[in-house]
Amino acid sequence: MAPAEAVTILIPGRLHEHAVARVERAFDVIRAPRADAALLSPADRGRIRGIAAMAHIDAAFIDALPNLEIIANFGVGYDSVDAAHAGRKGVVVTNTPDVLTEEVADTAVGLLINAVRELPKAEGWLRAGKWKSAGPYPFTRGTLRERTVGIFGMGRIGLAIARRLEAFGLPIAYHNRRRVEGVGYAYHASLLELARNVDTLICVAPGGAATEKAVDAEVLAALGPRGVFVNIGRGSTVDEEALAAALANGTILAAGLDVFADEPNVPEALLKAENASLLPHVGSASQHTRRAMADLMADNLESWFSGKGALTPVAETRHLGSLAGGTTPVAGAL
Ligand code: 8YV
């Protein structure tokens, strides 16, 4: 795109360096440590027409920018942005779907296998010299064999995980805000009902008020003592205290967690849980996929300011105009 010097984009906080380079190439850029109106002069607040961010953007900040047209979010999950408020104010919000689907699904399957087969612990055993000194790593209590998998959030990523696990020979069921058209897996109308019918629960649900602590003590108990819980969506979806208790007292067998409620702060009780496999939110974090996300974020801004509409607007702001041909996400799923 030809440089549109007149358009000013705000980048609050840290952002992928390729995304920054692309945005700087096409627009005037203002950087700020975070999305806080007090950090911007009145003149700058008036100039800003777009935001490129992986930061918390609340209603007050949107209201403080009178000429804001678009918030391009780095990530498929956009619970950090008040998209409903943006939609009401005529500000389009975009995210980065599709380009990270397969990567995140790969990570989810890896995390599940780590949780049941204890592969990180087995590697630790080898590296610590215990294979030589103490013998083979103990047989794992967990296995993928004879499991039934429930997926909470049957969107693009949920479907990609389901397809992989189907190939592993595992039956799949799901819960989603609504039954998903064209998906043949068994549907359960509530998360609790899903948990009662499976022993392996994979959470791919978005964050936000609707899913806050949805995976609670009752859901975990319903999975039973063979239960395995994997979270690749958002930490806010889980009652972490209840999860740590369920892991400690054998209510469930194991967990695999890539996301936490207050990142990068992981609760001490989860750090201590020997039967939890923990990752530092790396679901999409390959160089390949993060670059694709950066490109899609920049493409959204360029498309919008060329008058062609947003490429991947989120549901709450789709009425503000998008390019024909954009994918239609499943409500309530990533
Ligand atoms: C990113 C994610 O790590 O896309 C998402 O929703 O959680 C991840 O892919 C995150 O958005 C940026 O840090």
Banded model confidence at residue 330, pLDDT cuts 50, 70, 90: low
Q: Is the pTM of this model over 0.75?
A: yes
Tens digit of pLDDT for each residue in 47-89?
Answer: 999 999 999 999 999 999 999 999 999 999 999 999 999 999 9
| Closest ligand 1 atom to Cα of 73 | 11
61 touches ligand 1 (CB under 6 Å): no
User: Helix (H, G, I), strand (E, B), or coil: what is residue 267?
Assistant: coil
Tens digit of pLDDT for each residue in 18-42?
Answer: 999 999 999 999 999 999 999 999 9
- Same fold for the domain at 3-97+287-325 and the one at 101-278? yes
Q: What is the CA(92)–ligand 1 centre distance, in A?
A: 19
pLDDT at 334: 83
Residue 325 has pLDDT above 60, yes or no: no
- Mean pLDDT in residue range 147-171: 98
CA-to-CA distance for 186 and 198, rounded, in angstroms?
11
Amino acid at 186: A
Q: Whose CA is nearest to atom 2 of ligand 1?
A: 75
User: Helix (H, G, I), strand (E, B), or coil: what is residue 252?
Assistant: coil
Domain at 3-97+287-325, CATH homologous superfamily: NAD(P)-binding Rossmann-like Domain (3.40.50.720)
pLDDT at 16: 98
pLDDT at 324: 46
Tens digit of pLDDT for each residue in 107-126?
Answer: 999 999 999 999 999 999 99
The backbone torsions φ and ψ at residue 272, rounded to the nearest 5 degrees and listed phi first, read -80, -20
Q: What is the CA(160)–ligand 1 centre distance, in A?
A: 17
For the chain, give every domain's residue range.
3-97+287-325, 101-278
- Is 234 an annotated catalytic residue? yes
Q: What is the CA(74)–ligand 1 centre distance, in A?
A: 7
Class assignment of domain 101-278? alpha beta
Among the listed residues 146, 178, 263, 288, the single catalytic one is 263
Q: How far apart are the first and last CA of the chain?
A: 30
281 touches ligand 1 (CB under 6 Å): yes
- Is 263 an annotated catalytic residue? yes
Q: What is the CA radius of gyration of the chain?
A: 21
Which of 76, 55, 59, 77 lies closest to 68 in space, CA to CA? Answer: 59
- Mean pLDDT in residue range 251-261: 98
56 touches ligand 1 (CB under 6 Å): no
Dihedral class, residue 315 (left if φ above 0, else alpha if ψ from -120 to 50, else beta): alpha
Tens digit of pLDDT for each residue in 210-243?
Answer: 999 999 999 999 999 999 999 999 999 999 999 9
Tokens of 110: 């890896």
CA-to-CA distance for 111 and 164, rounded, in angstroms?
13
> Beta 276-278 vs 186-187: how paired, if at all?
unpaired
